[in-house]
Amino acid sequence: MSQANATPRRRFVSVWLVVTIALVALMVVVGGATRLTGSGLSITEWRPVTGAIPPIGEAAWAEEFAKYRASPQYKLLNEGMSLGEFQFIYWWEWSHRQLGRLIGLVFAGGLLFAAVTRRVTLGEGLTLFGMGLLLATQGAIGWIMVASGLQPGMTAVAPIKLTLHLGFALLFFGALVAFLIHVRPPRSETPRLSAPLRAGAYLVLALTFVQILLGGLVAGSRAGLTFNTWPLMDGGFAPSLDGLFAVTPWWENFVDNVALVQLNHRIGAYVLLIAIALYAFAVVRAGADRATRRRVFELLGVMILQAGLGVATLVMVVPLSLGLAHQFGAVVALALAVRNVALAAGGTSQRVRERRPGAVAQPV
């Protein structure tokens, strides 16, 4: 790649990554809406290609509705549902799957174009290809999740599979954000932080990821519809041990017992807030540069806002608007945590930046 056209070539990669990141964030929110509206099991087949075309005409809709009426969810939960009500939940699930198809096309098409036109290096291309495999795996897990809800006696998908589906989406999202920072680092110099502060950044990221997964378990088990008070839960900090471990074997309580599932998400929020507050204090005490302090306090601010949204969502018994806002807040928090790690670990003072045509690239 010549120095003269390096910047325009990389600009395509940057725009492509930003578009993909935005689509994945939208996908997570639409997935949340699909879950909150009870729409996830409305399409009972997995047709990656032909499923992109929705039912057209009365006969096609009648056929699709008949498939849903044969499902356990309809028989046990939605018997008597009208065609209009079915169409409402169908369009949510169809939109969710359509977004998945669009993300796959945008990512694969952009990667192919970038590779053919040599806008990425071989190493970058292999990294992006690995991310593509991650995306494909996430899509396959989505169908495994849906299939779990179509088993006899089931009216919803398995919480652990929903959480796994969400987790792979977040891994892909986080990888996109990190790669975008690699391609387009901040213009201002960002020094590499000390080893303890780098470790703190990784810890905050790990806690953020785990906390979102705990939220996925809350969503999958509908634990947010219970114990709708805060800060108390069942009249105290936590329900009794008998209530928390009422399911046998005991380890299934961490997935299937709504009391323990919700308590874990609450405790996760407390731990995460304390961790990011201590990390921010350590950054200030270490005399970090202004850009570093700013990004850490942006992360802290989003975490506080996200905690407030979580409390409001709980006490108001999960209204759709707040539930989606809370889910979007989790995506934003993860993006900021990934950005913090990428810049803390690598900085930009260690990189060679792109220069204007004719300029000589030097370390800054």
Write the DSSP assignment of 296-344 as a string of letters.
Answer: HHHHHHHHHHHHHHHHHHHHTT--HHHHHHHHHHHHHHHHHHHHHHHHH
pLDDT tens track for 132-160: 999 999 999 999 999 999 999 888 899 99
What pLDDT does residue 364 have? 29
pLDDT of residue 347: 56
Q: Are the CB atoms for 345 and 201 separated by under 8 Å? A: yes
- pLDDT tens readout for residues 295-343: 999 999 999 999 999 999 999 999 999 999 999 999 999 999 999 999 8
pLDDT over 70 percentage in the chain: 91
Q: What is the mean pLDDT of residues 58-70?
A: 94
Q: pLDDT digit string (tens) for 120-137?
A: 999 999 999 999 999 999
Average pLDDT of span 186-198: 79
**Mean pLDDT score, 172-177:** 97
pLDDT for 298 equals 96
Q: Which pLDDT value is given to residue 108? A: 96
Cβ neighbors of 101 (< 8 A, separation 6 or more) are 48, 52
Percentage of the chain lying above the pLDDT 90 cut: 79
The mean pLDDT value for 248-272 works out to 95
Higher pLDDT: 269 or 11? It is 269
pLDDT computed for residue 48 by the predictor: 83
Instruction: Please tell me the predicted confidence (pLDDT) of residue 188.
Output: 64
| d(C-alpha 173, C-alpha 152), whole Å | 34
User: How many alpha carbons lie under 13 Å from residue 45 in its C-beta half-sphere?
Assistant: 13
Residues 292-310: b if buried by 16+ CB within 10 A, e if exposed:
beebbeebbebbeebbebb
Mean of pLDDT values over 249-256: 93
pTM of the model: 0.89
pLDDT at residue 47 in the model: 86
Task: Identify the residue with better confidence: 84 or 185.
Answer: 84
Beta strands in the chain (DSSP E): none
Cis, bond preceding 152 (omega within 30 deg of 0): no
Q: What pLDDT score does 363 carry?
A: 34
Average pLDDT of the chain is 89
How many alpha carbons fall within 13 Å on the CB side of residue 143?
Answer: 11
Q: Is 326 annotated as a binding residue?
A: yes
Is 96 annotated among the ligand-binding residues?
A: no
By the 8 A CB rule, do 126 and 146 touch?
Answer: no
